[in-house]
Amino acid sequence: MSHRSDTERQSGIARKMLSYNKRQWTENVTGKVIATVCAALLIVVVLSITYFIASKGLSTFFVNGVSITEFLTQIKWDPEGEPAIYGVFPFILGSFLVTTLAALIAAPLGIGAAIFMVELFPNFGKKVLKPVIELLVGIPSVVYGYVGLTLLVPFIREQFDVLGFSLLAGGLVLALMILPTITSVAADSIAAVPQDLRNASLALGATRWQTIWNVVLHSSLPGCLTAIVLGMARAFGEALAVQMVIGNTTKLPGSLLDPISTLTSGITLNMGNTIQGTPYNNALWSMALLLLLMSFVFIMILRIIGRKGLVNK
């Protein structure tokens, strides 16, 4: 009887193990199928968006006969003139200038705040500074633009006796917008540096600041560069906040206090006033294609920075 009961017990255990393996196999297959479908859907969406924008943007050159060289280098934008002139160089220059200015302002502030959070006062950084930064991330861009419009633009107008709508105003607003992104990513990169490196540097007689400057920042350099590039990518594609404070003129700026225009502001201001399929409308889609290509460039830069070879160096 005991032998029979042992046999039945073993067969019961075997059935349970078999049923568990079947369930596990089903769950694995289901998970793989769902993940594959999601990945394929994401690829299809990206390719569809790229194809749609490219088909619209390239019509300017292959259907309307606009020269690519003149389109990129011409400094005059007059799509409704006779003849029409489609020069987007002022928009391209404005986008790069305002993005660069924002990065130059936000990068040292963001990395400095990350060092403060992780290295100097970690408890205060986690309890106070990090929630504040997360709060800044959640603020809509229109709020930044409205604050810049009501506070920053009048301040620049009073202090420098100019219009107020300027490259400087756009750069400051964008710097405030991308500051949380740079700070968060840089803080994560600095926190990932092994504590043994800090201890070894201090044991060799280096001061705390020498350790931060020569060891921590050097080890986290790829992550800090990634943070800056991510911030610049967001700044380059921002439309509403910049549009509210830069003046939106197609003239080339002569100083930080002159008004400018960007690719995003040019598209948002003019797209609703054009007819689908006209050369004017196609030119705006070409500007959107330039923005998409710049997004790809930023992604490529991030991939290059994140390569293991660069990190090891």
Q: What is the pLDDT of residue 311?
A: 45
Q: Longest Cα pair distance anywhere in the chain, in angstroms?
A: 104
Q: Are residues 225 and 303 in the same domain?
A: yes
CA–CA dist 166, 162 (Å, integer): 9
pLDDT digits (tens, 9 = 90+) for 127-158: 888 888 888 888 888 899 999 999 999 999 99
Secondary structure class of 207 (helix, strand, coil)? coil
Instruction: Identify how many contiguous H helices and E strands the chain contains and give both numbers.
Output: 17, 2
Number of domains composing the chain: 2
Q: What is the pLDDT of residue 16?
A: 58
Residue found under tokens 């399929």: 277
Q: What is the pLDDT of residue 270?
A: 86
On whether the CB atoms of residues 106 and 179 are closer than 8 A, the answer is: yes
Angstrom CA distances, 138 to 17, 181, 202, 289, 307, stand at: 49, 11, 38, 28, 30
Q: What is the pLDDT of residue 249?
A: 87
Residue found under tokens 């992604």: 299
The answer to whether residue 288 is domain-embedded is: yes
On whether the CB atoms of residues 99 and 236 are closer than 8 A, the answer is: yes
Tokens of 166: 């300027």
The answer to whether residue 19 is domain-embedded is: yes
On whether the CB atoms of residues 86 and 77 are closer than 8 A, the answer is: yes
Q: Are residues 29 and 102 in the same domain?
A: no
Q: Are residues 29 and 75 in the same domain?
A: no
Q: Are residues 222 and 260 in the same domain?
A: yes
Which residues touch 193 (CB under 8 Å, ≥6 apart)?
Answer: 215, 216, 219, 220
Tokens of 237: 């594609």
Q: Are residues 106 and 236 in the same domain?
A: yes
Q: Is the pLDDT score of 20 beyond 80?
A: no
pLDDT digits (tens, 9 = 90+) for 35-77: 999 999 999 999 999 999 999 999 989 988 888 998 999 998 8
The answer to whether residue 173 is domain-embedded is: yes
The answer to whether residue 121 is domain-embedded is: yes
Q: Are residues 6 and 83 in the same domain?
A: no
pLDDT digits (tens, 9 = 90+) for 239-270: 888 989 998 888 888 899 999 999 998 898 88
pLDDT digits (tens, 9 = 90+) for 85-107: 898 999 999 999 999 999 999 99
Q: Which of 248, 237, 250 is nearest to 288 (CA)?
A: 237
Which residues touch 23 (CB under 8 Å, ≥6 apart)?
Answer: none
Q: Are residues 53 and 26 in the same domain?
A: yes
pTM for the structure as a whole: 0.84
The answer to whether residue 64 is domain-embedded is: no
Q: Are residues 137 and 24 in the same domain?
A: no
Q: What is the pLDDT of residue 312?
A: 46
Q: Which domain holds residue 124?
A: 70-312
Q: What is the CATH number of the domain that holds 256?
A: 1.10.3720.10
Q: Are residues 37 and 116 in the same domain?
A: no
CA–CA dist 182, 114 (Å, integer): 9
The answer to whether residue 65 is domain-embedded is: no
Residue found under tokens 């293991």: 308
Q: Are residues 48 and 147 in the same domain?
A: no
Higher pLDDT residue, 93 or 124?
Answer: 93
The answer to whether residue 118 is domain-embedded is: yes
